Amino acid sequence: MYVCLIGLLQAQFCLSGYDSAAHMSEETKKADVAGPLGMVTAVTGSSILGWLFLISLLMGIHDYQQTMRTSTGFPVTQILLDNFGRSWTIVLM
């Protein structure tokens, strides 16, 4: 169950951007222009930041074989542990 929730987390971050722009468009001036612009900007920003996040995460792998054979069972957690230590990994997770 935990793995499924962690897997859905990235999709939730991406979807929250344009969804909130859609809900806030009715309170903006010139909503016919500002609403779609906010949605496109949210999706573009999420795509760019998500790409940068994935690239930086993959560049943080020190030893691929060790990362795949983790004692934690979660490669992303192991990458954060290798780079930031236990305290900061708990904060970031």
Q: How many angstroms separate the CA atoms of 93 and 6, rounded?
A: 10
Reported pTM:
0.62
Q: What is the reported pLDDT for 66?
A: 84
CA distances from 26 to 9, 23, 67 (A): 27, 7, 47
Q: What is the reported pLDDT for 87?
A: 94
Q: How many angstroms separate the CA atoms of 82 and 18, rounded?
A: 34
Q: What is the reported pLDDT for 15?
A: 64
CA of residue 14 relative to chain centroid, distance: 7
**Each residue of 34-80: pLDDT tens digit?**
888 888 888 888 778 878 888 888 899 988 888 888 777 888 888 88
